[in-house]
Amino acid sequence: METRSQAVSDRTYDRKMAGKSLSEACREKGLRMTRQRQVIVDLLENSREHLDAPTLLREARRRVPAIDKTTVYRTIKRLRKLGLIDELDLLHMGEHDGHFYEPLPEKMHLHIVCMQCGKVEDMQPETWAEMEREVETKRGYSIEMARVEIGGYCPECRRARSGA
């Protein structure tokens, strides 16, 4: 059985790759880019939404109908191991327990999730840098990654819930 420390250490975050295009980062890491992998990377890189694996598979099949489910899951796993994408739980919303993927961002940010419709927004509050400094200077940690999720109701769902 995998321990928590093994699970965490299995997920590296290559901060040197943050801010680079996912395609460029894959090339720098020496990842062989098959047509199918390139489609998956392009989808992750160009999506305006956080994608879960079933959505990634569905969208990849629109471009390459013969792409296999195993290829999508193995590519996700490989990109995670290389530290090029992040796996997000996002309050376990969504189809498959809410595991979503995004390229490693240039700057750390938090996610705001609507608990009714599942809408996800990224946000980098002004106090974020102050919090990072405090963790590093007062606690002595070297921050490699940060993950914060806030759950609530988006304006549209709030209006619908209040009957307005």
Taking residues 23-36, report their average pLDDT.
92
> How many angstroms separate the CA atoms of 118 and 55, rounded?
14
Q: 30 and 91 share a domain?
A: yes
> How many angstroms separate the CA atoms of 125 and 41, rounded?
28
Q: 39 and 70 share a domain?
A: yes
Q: 154 and 75 share a domain?
A: no
> How many angstroms separate the CA atoms of 69 and 72, rounded?
5
User: Total structural domains in the chain?
Assistant: 2
Task: List the one residue out of 42, 44, 66 whose CA is nearest residue 55.
Answer: 44
Q: 100 and 116 share a domain?
A: no
Q: Would the pLDDT of 11 be above 50?
A: no
Q: 17 and 93 share a domain?
A: yes
Q: For 56-104, what is each residue's pLDDT tens digit?
A: 999 999 999 999 999 999 999 999 998 888 888 776 665 545 688 888 7
SS3 for 144?
coil
102 within 8 A of 44, measured Cβ to Cβ = yes
Q: 118 and 98 share a domain?
A: no
Answer with the residue of higher pLDDT: 157 or 90: 157
List Cβ neighbours of 8 (8 Å cut-off, separation of 6 or more).
none
Quote the tokens at residue 68: 């296999």
Taking residues 7-21, report their average pLDDT.
55
> How many angstroms separate the CA atoms of 62 and 135, rounded?
44
Q: What is the DSSP letter of 45?
A: H
Which residues span the domain enclosing 120? 107-164
Q: 39 and 95 share a domain?
A: yes
CATH of the domain at 48: 1.10.10.10
> How many angstroms separate the CA atoms of 97 and 120, rounded?
15
Quote the tokens at residue 38: 């390139």
Q: Would the pLDDT of 35 be above 90?
A: yes
Q: Would the pLDDT of 9 be above 60?
A: no
> How many angstroms separate the CA atoms of 39 and 47, rounded?
12
Domain boundary among 60, 77, 106: 106
Q: For 94-146, what is each residue's pLDDT tens digit?
A: 554 568 888 877 777 788 888 888 888 888 877 888 888 899 999 999 887 77
Q: 85 and 29 share a domain?
A: yes
Q: Which residue has the tokens 């796996």?
A: 87
Domain boundary among 87, 106, 125: 106
